[in-house]
Amino acid sequence: MTILVFFLWSLLKVAVVTVVMLLGIAYTVLLERKLVGRIQNRWGPSRVGPFGLLQPLVDGAKSFLKEDIIPTGVYRPLYLLAPILALGCALISIAVVPFGEPNVGPGGIHFFQISDINIGLLVILGVTSIGVYGIALAGWSSNNKYSLLGSLRSSAQLISYELALGLSLVGVVLQTGSLNLRVIVEKQAEKGIVTWNIFGGLQFVAFFIYLMAAFAETNRSPFDLPEAESELTGGYHTEYSSMKFAMFFMAEYGNMITVGCVATLMFLGGWTSPMGDLMPPPQNILVHAFFPIFWFVAKVFCFLFLYVWVRGTLPRFRYDQLMNFGWRYLMPLAMLNILGTSLWLAYH
């Protein structure tokens, strides 16, 4: 009976988190359109629903109803698999993210995390790394030179910046002594913002490296070279239409949310408040349970806001500048950060 309850509870959590994630993706798109509109001195979506809040629903319906065109020269199995792989990896990686305090129910059931495993950080890095295969397969199977160039750029970009991104997190792991995301957050919870890794852990250099690598990993401006409309007419998804194009679009924003969650957990204290244990917990049980989720969502929102702000401000890099920045600056800086963290820990 306990196994059945655990299985049903896990299915319920997967369903709820998937729905919330998809809604988050839809409204992250709306957030970007509204903020970029303000940056460019225009309104953005404002006609569908109050303040344009129903625009994502209309965009989703439009994607479903558009004509689905498949060019004759494509390699059909991989052409169809690529968007599924890209979106699937973006959704799977959220499974190990803890959204709030680990309130354990009957039978050891965690309320605010689908799966609490000891190597949660490695799972996220591994799954997000596989997601690039969706882009690579899309470009190759499309039988289009522009698409192929975009997928090759994405592969080279992944190799260059995945190393820096992974190395930027090593300092936090060294300080914490664990790859468990829940443990990493609990280590930062004692005195609030003072003990967050970005400040108290002296990992602000690692946070900068992670931030730059995350922009490149998610193919976002100013590192959106795999798409690069000005030279590749859309890049790896040039030959995709209807929902297949929408799946690539959703995967990009899903990856943005995932890297925002990882940044929040690793550097910004996760679900803990800036006051930490100095602020007494709310007396109401429901408020006490969902207050940490508020802080978690607020920190991820700030990260997404930064994403949009950078897109509306900075121009796209040239490809040689992209590779030069990754290998000549971020990689050595990440290794120096690991060396400095190791020396600091050995000294103390």
Q: What is the pLDDT of residues 86-95, one digit of tens each?
A: 899 888 888 8
Q: Which residues 6+ apart lie within 8 Å of 162 measured at CB?
A: 125, 129, 213, 217
| First and final C-alpha spacing in the chain | 50
- pLDDT category of residue 1 using cuts at 50, 70 and 90: very low
Q: What is the pLDDT of residue 263?
A: 92
> How many angstroms separate the CA atoms of 305 and 242, rounded?
28
Q: What is the pLDDT of residues 275-291, one digit of tens each?
A: 765 555 666 656 666 78
Q: What is the pLDDT of residues 328-347, one digit of tens each?
A: 999 999 999 999 989 988 88
Tell me which DSSP letter residue 330 carries: I
Smallest Cα–Cα separation from 186: which of 116, 126, 129? Answer: 116
Output the CA–CA distances (angstroms, integers) from residue 131 to 125, 136, 161, 250, 326, in the order listed: 10, 9, 14, 12, 20
Q: Please state the pTM of the whole predicted model.
A: 0.89
